[in-house]
C-alpha cells in the first residue's frame, strides 16, 4: 500500500506547517495583530460598500480590482511622497499571496531564493511551496547582531546567485529597520534576482525611516510589499499588496488564480482606505505602547531590541521556552520565535502592556536571577 506521505512531494516531507497558537487567554500578544477594533464609522462604511456589491455576487469580481489599485496607489503616494500610477500596484489575499505570486513567477525548480535569518518565517515556506531552493543567509557574522551587514549580504548574494532575494524592513521578528544602502547594494550584487523588500510594518517605523518605495525608479527588479493587516487593523480582511515596475506586475498575471480578489474583499479594503487617517490614528498609540514595553522590559533587567514595528523582541531570558510557558500560565500569550533567550511581544493596548510587564515581573521574581 502506498501512503499519502509517499505521494507527497519529496521536498515537502517532514516539514512543519506555519502556525501560531490561537488560545483563549486574557492577553494575547503573539501574532502582531492590532488590539484595537475597527472604529464604528469605518464599520458603517464597510457595511455600506459590501451592501452595494452584495446583489452582484452572482457575477465574478473585477479581475483587475481597478478601483482598489487606484486607492492603494493614492495612499502610498500620499504617505511616501512617491507618485505611483495604478499599473505599479498589485494585491492579493494577504501579503503572503503576493509574495507567493512573486516566487511562482520567478522561482521554481532549479532556482534559488535568498533570505537573511532571523526574518519572517513564511519566506522560506513560500519558497518551498513553489519548489524553490532556499539559502539561509547571515545578517551579521555575530549571531547576536540583528542588523544586516551590507558587505556580508553582498558577498552572500554573489555566492548564491539567487533568482529571488527577500529583505524585510522593519524586520520580523527583530523589529529592526533596514538601511536603504543595504537594498541598493544587494540589488546591484544580485543582477538575476527579483529583490523583495517586505514592509509589512512600515507604518510603525520611527520618524525619518525611509521606505524602499523611494528606490523603485530605475530598478525594474525591485518589489516592495505591504499589508493592511497591521497598521490598518484589518488582519481579518486578508489584503496584501505590492508596488513594482508595470512590466513585472504584468508577469504576475501569469500565475494568479482567476478573480482571486473577491468583490467583498475589494469593497472592504476600499472602505478602510476611505478612512485611512482614522485607521492610522491608532498607529501612534501602538508605537507609544511599544516604547513602553521597551522601557519596561529594560527596567526589569531584560534586553529589548530597538523596534520600528508594532512588537518588541526581548532578550535576556535564560530559558525562553520556560518563560513563555510561565507567562501563559499567568494568562499572557507571547511568541517564542526560536531565537535563543528571546521572546517577541506584540504592542497592544496600554492595559495589555502593563499586564505583560506585571506577568514578566512576577515570573522573574518567582524564578530568581537564573531567569535572566
Residues 144-188: tens digit of each pLDDT? 889 999 999 999 999 999 999 999 999 999 999 999 999 999 999
Cell of 169: 524592513
| Average model confidence (pLDDT) across the chain | 95
Cell of 46: 464597510
Determine the Cα–Cα distance for residues 79 and 281; give it in Å rounded to an integer.
13
**Is the pLDDT reported for residue 369 higher than 80?**
no
Q: What is the mean pLDDT of residues 316-331?
A: 96
Quote the pLDDT of residue 164: 98
The pTM of this model reads 0.95
Query: How many beta carbons lie within 10 A of that of residue 258, not counting itself?
Result: 6
Quote the pLDDT of residue 146: 92
Answer yes or no: are the C-beta atoms of 264 and 55 closer than 8 Å.
no
Q: pLDDT tens digits for 53-85?
A: 999 999 999 999 999 999 999 999 999 999 999
Q: Which residue has the higher pLDDT, 141 or 61?
A: 61
43-52, 89-98, 362-371: segment of lowest average pLDDT: 362-371
Q: What is the mean pLDDT of residues 197-219?
A: 96
Instruction: Report, in angstroms and rounded to the nearest whole number, the Rg of the chain calculated over CA atoms.
Output: 21
**Is the pLDDT reported for residue 20 higher than 90?**
no
Q: What is the mean pLDDT of residues 255-267?
A: 97
Backbone torsions φ then ψ of 217, nearest 5 degrees: -60, 125
pLDDT band at 370 (very low <50, low <70, confident <90, very high): very low
Quote the pLDDT of residue 366: 86
Share of the chain above pLDDT 90, in %: 92
Q: Per DSSP, what are the bridge partners of residue 315?
A: 303, 342
| Cα dihedral across residues 314, 285, 309, 239: positive or negative | positive
Q: What is the mean pLDDT of residues 193-204?
A: 98
Q: Cell 503572503: give the residue.
A: 96
Q: What is the mean pLDDT of residues 122-151?
A: 94
pLDDT band at 371 (very low <50, low <70, confident <90, very high): low
Quote the pLDDT of residue 174: 96
Amino acid at each position: 500500500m502506498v501512503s499519502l506521505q509517499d505521494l507527497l512531494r519529496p521536498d515537502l516531507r517532514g516539514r512543519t506547517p506555519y502556525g501560531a497558537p490561537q488560545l483563549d487567554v486574557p492577553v494575547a500578544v503573539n501574532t502582531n495583530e492590532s488590539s484595537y477594533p475597527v472604529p464604528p464609522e469605518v464599520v458603517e462604511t464597510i457595511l455600506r460598500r459590501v451592501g452595494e456589491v452584495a446583489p452582484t455576487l452572482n457575477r465574478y469580481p473585477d479581475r483587475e480590482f481597478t478601483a482598489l489599485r487606484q486607492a492603494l496607489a493614492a495612499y502610498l503616494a500620499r504617505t511616501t511622497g512617491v507618485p505611483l500610477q495604478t499599473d505599479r500596484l498589485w494585491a492579493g489575499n494577504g501579503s503572503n499571496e503576493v509574495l507567493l505570486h512573486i516566487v511562482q513567477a520567478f522561482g521554481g525548480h532549479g532556482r534559488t531564493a535568498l533570505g537573511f535569518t532571523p526574518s519572517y518565517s513564511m519566506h522560506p515556506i513560500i519558497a518551498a511551496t513553489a519548489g524553490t531552493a532556499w539559502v539561509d543567509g547571515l545578517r551579521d557574522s555575530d549571531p547576536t547582531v540583528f542588523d544586516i551587514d551590507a558587505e556580508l549580504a553582498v558577498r552572500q548574494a554573489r555566492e548564491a546567485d539567487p533568482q529571488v532575494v527577500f529583505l524585510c524592513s522593519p524586520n520580523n521578528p527583530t523589529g529592526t529597520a533596514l538601511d536603504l544602502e543595504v537594498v541598493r547594494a544587494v540589488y546591484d550584487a544580485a543582477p538575476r534576482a527579483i529583490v523583495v523588500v517586505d514592509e509589512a510594518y512600515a507604518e510603525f517605523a520611527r520618524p525619518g525611516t525611509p521606505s524602499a518605495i523611494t528606490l523603485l525608479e530605475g530598478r525594474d527588479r525591485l518589489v516592495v510589499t505591504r499589508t493592511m493587516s497591521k497598521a490598518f487593523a484589518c488582519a481579518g480582511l486578508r489584503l496584501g499588496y505590492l508596488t513594482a515596475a508595470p512590466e513585472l506586475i504584468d508577469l504576475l498575471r501569469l500565475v494568479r488564480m482567476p478573480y482571486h480578489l473577491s468583490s467583498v474583499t475589494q469593497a472592504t479594503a476600499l472602505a478602510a482606505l476611505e478612512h485611512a487617517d482614522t485607521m492610522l490614528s491608532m498607529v501612534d498609540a501602538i508605537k507609544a505602547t511599544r516604547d513602553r514595553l521597551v522601557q519596561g522590559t529594560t527596567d526589569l533587567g531584560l534586553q529589548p531590541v530597538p523596534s520600528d514595528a508594532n512588537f518588541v523582541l526581548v532578550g535576556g531570558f535564560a530559558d525562553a521556552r520556560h518563560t513563555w510557558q510561565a507567562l501563559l500560565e499567568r494568562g499572557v500569550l507571547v511568541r517564542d520565535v526560536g531565537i535563543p533567550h528571546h521572546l517577541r511581544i506584540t504592542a497592544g493596548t496600554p492595559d495589555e502592556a502593563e499586564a505583560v510587564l506585571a506577568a514578566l515581573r512576577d515570573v522573574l521574581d518567582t524564578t530568581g536571577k537564573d531567569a535572566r
